Amino acid sequence: MAYKQSPGRMNMPKTGAGIPSALTMPDPKDPKDPKDPKDPKIDPTKLKYKDTKVTSTIDNKIVPIKGEAIVNINATREKKSFSKDSNELKKQQNWIKNNPDKYNEMISQTKNKVVNVTRERNYKINETPDKLFANPYKNPDYQRYQKSRNSRLAKASQAGDSLSLPKIEKLARMVDGPGFHKSTTMKVFMNRNNVGYGNAPESSKGSKTGSMGNWSYKINK
């Protein structure tokens, strides 16, 4: 008696252990992209990183700026063998020949993977230096019979052409002591630059700020 196929049932191509470590290929007449919908997605923002580089902020806090994480991913595709049917096998081999990239992708999906993920960010220090003023002692007014002070004036004149207010105050104290602001040199300097003793303008002071960039990630598959 002839075998009668049940409705809705169809003959399936045979597969076996004909060629080990191979995959069953789709029909080349309908070459669909063999991407596995279960391919895992790595969210680098939720990984636990090992710090590989740190830096110090302007507040003297140690913060990480580089790190790496290791992710173990199980195979997403089961290994299969080529068909033992010669005609089907030939189709599969031709498909591999014509689609080497897709075939290699399918093979990679049958293997466990170790993925290295790195992250990095920049910490930038923005620094504005103190405003500089002309050295008021550059052309010293030497006084007769004041050898010691004249010596200090000579030293102050060699301190540089442009100086910050703290540096000028330090020189003034060195030349004339605590009452330096009463000297003619400093009175002229303060009037010319609108600087009062103990009331230096805020614009003359430098500033330093720190800014941290966002993390950038790299997944090395």
Whether 54 and 120 map to the same domain: the answer is yes
| pTM for the structure as a whole | 0.47
Question: How far, rounded to the nearest angstrom, does the alpha carbon of residue 84 sit from its chain's CA centroid?
Answer: 53
Average pLDDT, the chain: 79
Q: Would residue 97 count as lying in a domain?
A: yes
Q: Which domain holds residue 155?
A: 130-205
Same domain assignment for residues 113 and 135: no
For 13-67, write each residue's pLDDT tens digit. 444 433 333 444 444 444 443 433 444 578 899 999 999 999 999 889 999 999 9
Q: Are 65 and 124 within 8 A, CB to CB?
A: no
What distances in angstroms separate CA 192 from CA 7, 187, 189, one per listed residue? 106, 8, 5
Residue ranges of E strands in 121-160: 123-128, 132-134
